[in-house]
Chain A
Amino acid sequence: MKAPLSVAVAIAIGLVVLLGYFMPFERLTSLRIVLLDWAVILAAVALLVGIGNLIYVHWRKSVRAQGESVHSVALLVSLFLTLGVVGWFSPTHPYSLWIFNNIQVPIESSLLAILAVLLAYALVRLLRRRMDRFSLVFVATVVIVLIGTAPLLGFDFPILGDLRSWLAEIPAVGGARGILLGIALGIIATGVRILIGADRPYGG
Chain B
Amino acid sequence: MWHLSALPVVIPFLVAPVLVSVGTVVPRWCEDATAVVVALSAVTICLLLAVHAASEPFAYWMGGWRPEHGVAIGIAFSIDPLGAGIAAFAGVMVLAALAYSLRYFDAVGGLFHGLMLLFLAGMVGFCLTGDLFDLVVFFELMSTVAYALTAYRIEERAPIQGAINFAITNSIGGYAMFIAVAMLYARTDELNMAQIGAVLDGHPADALVIVAMVLLLLGFLTKAAAVPLHFWLADAHAVAPVPVCVLFSGVMVELGIYAVARVYWVMFAGAMAPHTDPLRAILVALGATTAVLGAVMCVLQRHIKRLLAFSTIGHVGMFVCGVGLLGAKALAGVAVFIVGHGLTKAALFMICGILLHRFRTVDEYDLHGRGREVPVAGALFVVGGILLAAPPPFTEFQGKALIEGSASDVGYGWLLVVFAIVSALTAGAVLRVAGRVFYGWGPREGPDPRQARAAQERVDETREDRGRTPPLMLIVPGVLLATGVVGGLVPGAVAWVARSAARFADHPAYAQWVLHAHSVHWPPAPPMHVETIDVIIGMLTLVAAFGVAAAGLFGRPLLRRLPRRVRAGGRGAVVGLRGLHSGHIGDYIAWWTTGAGLLGGACLLALR
Q: Do A and B bind each other?
A: no
